[in-house]
Structure 1
Amino acid sequence: MTAQAVESRPTTPTAKARWRGGRWIALLGALIVLVAAGTVLLGPEQEAARPLDPADTSLQGSKALAELLRRRGVTVDRVDSVEAAAALGGDRTLVVTDRLRTSPDDLAAVRGDRLIVGDPFGAAEMAGVNPVGAARQRSREPECSLPAAVAAGSVHLGGIAYSAPRGTTGCYPAGDGWTLISFPNGSGTTTVVGSGEFMTNQRLAEDGNAALALNLLATGKPVTWLVPPDDPGTGDLAGPEGDSVYDLMPPSIPWAVLMACLTVLVVAFWRGRRLGPVVTERLPVVVRASETVEGRGRLYRARRARARAADSLRAGTIDRLTPRLGLASGAGPQEVVAALAVRTGLDAREVGGALYGPPPTGDAELVALAGYLDSIERKVREL
């Protein structure tokens, strides 16, 4: 081996090479961001679900229940303020959900029966009914004497469990409490349920949910359904002073979201970079072909791999002679042997035995085979 001075070339990718390898990833990422932003900004606006709203057709809405009541001849009035509910007057059934922010005093002017979903303002406490814990949403049996519950049977209830002191009727037990409480008020009956899940479009057709809802509301009285105002500044997303939840966010939240998005893009660009084209370098040493051949021959001899050495010699000879004989690279043994016999005048059986015969049994036969193959190649080159 001989050492040679070689020119040193840098192998670290330059800034230009990095940009060349990663520009398509950066452009693709920017395109994805633009498409996503355009979809959000230009796409059709979807109306948010309004849980337990008699005009909402989503899974959380209660339009199906309102339509069932109307088919039974019950008037259903949807109002968004206590003042509007009181203005309707008469003996009515008031539905109040836990998405409202009001107080029992605000409802004093509304006479008649009341169905309170959850405990939006502590109305149950004024009759001595207190929440005693949370109840898992599942099908429950009434286990009480309330006619509306007995007729409905099993109902999907949960949410809040209440105590049932003297003068109240508790149904659908959950732990130490009840998920439905009924008690008289000054002008009618108040019913408190731990959750309005059984009144939604999604659950109304299950168990006895529809039966219980109709038994509580279809009593021959008009229904006043009190819902949050449509104005998001005063609805259930409003803060204590009418500000929306987005107005109450700290100013740093949008910047934090923006920095998180930029971080994701930078990490994607970093992990998706390419190293660029392979840099070629001259070897510091030159190894002669003869030394490589001798080294491989010593390895064959050390392992006594005569068959493998013979196969290597034969394969090399066939590869070199095939184009000289005008044959294709996939020519079979018969074609190669026949062409060599015609071109060199050698015996076809000897040529076939040398190229495709059994492996040699000793070193002498291997050397003789190598010499015979070399002589065949010389004759073909001299013709």
Structure 2
Amino acid sequence: MTATDARSAAAPDQASAPVLTPTLGRRLRASRGRIVIGVVAIVVAVLGVLIAGQSAQQRPPLDPASATPTGAKALVEVLRAHGVDVRPATTLEQAADAAADAAPDQVTIAVYDPNRFLPVAKLAGDDRLAERTVLIAPPKGMADALRAAGRDVAVIRTASVLENQHIAEGGNAGEAIRLLGGTRVLVWYTPGLSDLGVTAPKTIADLTPPWVTPLIVLAALIVAAAAAWRGRRFGALVIEDLPVVVRASEALEGRARLYQRSDARLTALDAVRMGAVGRLATRLGLGPGAAVTDVCAAVAARLRLDPAGVRGTLLDAEPRTDAELMELTRRVAALEASVTGSNQPGEWHR
């Protein structure tokens, strides 16, 4: 069978077979629920990272729990590894409570007050604090006031040497451990607004009614459930035939218009040839599986015609214009009629 035979045999099957491969638009419409859920998850993750990053950046300098470059977590972890119990405090009361359960000679209090919240007289006059005090970048006069009150005072002039980004430089780590790790307990005291007797401004969380948070959580759960409900597909889509009857003439005219619009003259002629070859094979007793070349030879022998001319009509000739298409179609019809005896044998090649 030649290439034209294969094309002729495949044309009707391709035309009648339904297109089952989903297009890009169908895939997007079918997956829009999953896409929405994915986008929401990505947005939530990005917002979480940004909020966490801003929260980390808003930590004060030398925060013992901060791993940022300006925090002091590296030094605190090293001190704890050396057996020192580091206790953070942000108010004078917290500092006094942290030092209360240990012997006075086993407690060191490190004071870092970059905002100058703690009055010097208040710190010097509180006898509940440890006798050994380490001042980190203190204001002028604080060390002298504490010494006058009988305290053992050590001073670290620059706070940056204790930061995570500088603690490993030079001898910073060793000097810090020597000053801060000499006792069993270290109270890391960073004064806040309460040490001034000033009430801190209320945050959004303080101003928000208690029922708002559960409502937000409930709304988030409802949105997630709705997204899962609308976005989930239980298996692949099923294609069902609609109860519509299309008349054969309408299908024929529609296909003809498509061929005409795309100038598919050879495809249209092949459709005519395919039907004629099948009917000729049946009438000549060759069977439906006969090759086109065998049908051409049998037709030429039956009608005593030139085999090359018959082959050109049924197989080889290709129309270049609409007029040639109509002429070849008429010749195919005349040849088929001649075989059945309805026309004269030589009419088909005029």
TM-score of the pair, normalised by structure 2: 0.45
Q: From the two aligned structures, give the one with the greater helix fraction.
A: 2
